[in-house]
Chains A and B, each alone.
Chain A
Amino acid sequence: MTARLLAGVDVAVDASLATHLDRHGRLPPLRTPGERAGMLDTLDRSGLLGRGGAGFPAGRKMRTVAAGSKRGARPVVLANGCEGEPASRKDTVLLTRAPHLVLDGIQTAAMMVGADEAHLVVQRGSATSTAVRHAVSERARTDAVCVTVHELPHRYVASEESALVQWLNGGEAKPAFTPPRPFERGVAGRPTLVNNVETLAHLALLARHGAEWFRRVGDPDEPGTLLVSVAGPPDVRRVIEVPTGTTVGDLLTRAGCDPTAAQAVLVGGYFGTWLPTGLALHTPLSHRGLRAVGGALGAGIVAALPRSSCGVTETARVAAYLAAESAGQCGPCINGLPAIADALRRLARGPWDERLAPALDRWLAVVNGRGACRHPDGATRFVASALATFSDDVTAHRSGRPCAASGTPGWLPLPSARQAEPGWR
């Protein structure tokens, strides 16, 4: 009913260019400077916020990059479809089921900023890669700007924008010290527009239907629809599209989850925040709504933890994963995240030592904000929110009486050891 990006999308329907054109019609070309300026105004008026996690106004970012071209360097468009978050599936769904919307968005963005090359980066060895390469080949002769598909090694921090740029420039996919930010000096030293693929797909529809249409659904301050990767009891793992501002409770119900079977809800992925179920169900899925309860929307991930799982154990699993996924560049992250993960492992499985309680609080505070990227900030937010939300379980674990569910198999998705690859190139 509110599906836009996923309208008409079904596993039974092919993702070909012909189907895409039947469904959405042709993409209006932006041939003249006037048309390009008009589209920038449309984007500003639409209020579209980036869907990669930070929620930055898409129009403002584009104007910054377009201004860079006036200084003589031709901008580059970089579409980020890497989806480093293990609990996220939205970019995969979008790129495999509606790749042409993303490719339309890339063309529109390239016209708007005056780019003459574009790059689409996806996860290495994934089904996504095959799907997008096929889609790119279907339109290679008609696209104004050539799109090159790249496959990034599967590391959590590799899809951070400065890491992506460094990797495309021949280095390792590790975050870089900024400034310069990619919009100033990115791919090949040129001003680079980095957008999540969902943002670009929205742009493709905005180019067809205009700002008023775009604003017709969702929270008036952050309008439109949102792709959300949902997991929850009984056994739901799927991606759905809802208007921004939809409450977490409505989202879970629409996705087929039973909210009453959830003990807590993780919003925003492994850089996100655990919320008590009662609070989460009434919280709207918007940047403002989540900020008000101390959370963040992130890249649209909502995971309702079943009562049969142990929140402390789940948190320990993810903390160990995040510690192992550090790029190993910054001292506080190299030292702090393993210390935090080890304390959580001992909290979950024993043997616990009471001296770890103040140490854990100290590490969470001292690591926050001290990396070149936001990896330590995200990891500490995740852990700190878990300690608050699962405080009763934490008390039980500390007293040596772990909850009944501890020791059960993990519930939150993590890459298997087989998928984890050591390289950064």
Chain B
Amino acid sequence: MRVRVNPIACVAHGVCAELLPEWVELDEWGYPVLDGEPLPAQLVTHARRAAAACPARAVVLSED
């Protein structure tokens, strides 16, 4: 699984960084920085929770 952010939808709520701090950093303006690498299996549940909790529906999970 990979985590992407739809940068058009994202308005820097920061919920993803709270729920998935191991994987998501925020830049100095509060927007998430992701490196696009495959997500480690132990973080998948947290990632799903972050995607569901994003108020902007900007966290995009893809299976590959």
* From A176, A331, A366, contact of B10 by CB (8 A): A331
Give chain A residues whose Cβ lies under 8 Å from the Cβ of B6: 177, 372
Query: Does the CB pair A332–B29 fall under 8 Å?
Result: yes
Q: Are A371 and B27 in contact (CB under 8 A)?
A: no
Q: Which residues of chain A are near B28, meaning CB under 8 Å? A: 366
Are B9 and A332 in contact, CB atoms less than 8 angstroms apart? no
Q: Is residue B39 contacting chain A, with contact meaning CB distance below 8 A?
A: no
Q: Which A residues touch B27, using CB under 8 A?
A: 332, 366
Report chain B residues within 8 Å CB of A332. 7, 27, 29, 31
Is B30 part of the binding interface, using a Cβ–Cβ cutoff of 8 Å?
yes
Q: Report chain B residues within 8 Å CB of A408.
A: none
Which A residues are closer than 8 A to B by beta carbons?
Answer: 176-177, 329-333, 335-336, 366, 370-372
Main secondary structure on B side of the interface with A: loop
**Which B residues are in CB contact (< 8 Å) with A336?**
29
Are A371 and B33 closer than 8 Å at their CB atoms? no
Q: Bound state CA distance, A25 and B50, in angstroms?
A: 62
The complex places the Cα of A330 from the Cα of B9 at a distance, in Å, of 8
CB nearest to B30 among chain A residues: A331
Query: Chain B nearest CB: distance from A161 CB in Å?
Result: 16
Is the beta-carbon distance between A177 and B33 smaller than 8 angstroms?
no
Given A331-B12, A332-B27, A366-B33 contact (CB < 8 Å): yes
Shortest Cβ distance from residue B8 to the other chain A in the assembled complex, whole angstroms: 4
Which residues on the A side are within 8 Å of B29 (C-beta)?
Answer: 331-332, 335-336
Contact string against A for B residues 1-44, beta-carbon threshold 8 Å, 1 for contact and 0 otherwise: 00000111111100000000000000111110100000000000
Q: Which 9 interchain pairs have the tightest Cβ spacing?
A: A330-B7, A331-B31, A335-B29, A329-B8, A177-B6, A372-B8, A177-B8, A366-B27, A372-B7
CA distance A93 to B31 in the complex (A): 42
What are 10 A-B pairs at a CB distance below 8 A?
Answer: A177-B7, A330-B7, A330-B8, A331-B29, A331-B31, A332-B7, A332-B31, A333-B7, A366-B33, A372-B7
| Chain B nearest CB, measured from A303 CB (Å) | 30
Most buried by A among B6, B7, B28: B7
The chain B residue sitting closest to A174, CB to CB, is B8
Closest CB of chain B to A190's CB: distance in Å? 23
Bound Cα distance A333, B8 (Å): 10
- A329, B7: Cβ atoms closer than 8 Å: yes
Given contacts A177-B6, A330-B10, A372-B8, 18 further A-B contacts (CB under 8 A): A176-B8, A177-B7, A177-B8, A177-B9, A329-B8, A330-B7, A331-B11, A331-B12, A331-B29, A331-B31, A332-B29, A332-B31, A335-B29, A366-B27, A366-B33, A370-B33, A371-B7, A372-B6
Closest to B6 in A: A177
Q: Which of A329, A331, A336, A372 has the most CB of B within 10 A?
A: A331
Q: Which residues of chain A have C-beta atoms less than 8 A from B7's C-beta?
A: 177, 329-333, 370-372
CB of B57, distance to nearest CB on chain A (Å): 11
Closest B residue to A179 by beta carbon equals: B62
Shortest B50–chain A CB gap in Å is 17
In the bound complex, what is the Cα–Cα distance between A185 and B53 (angstroms)?
29
Closest to B5 in A: A370
Residues in A whose Cβ lies below 8 Å from that of B31: 331-332, 335, 370
Q: How far is the CB of B27 from chain A (nearest CB, A)?
A: 5
Contacts of B9 in A (CB 8 A): 177
Name the A residues within 8 Å of B12 (CB-CB): 331
CA distance A366 to B27 in the complex (A): 7
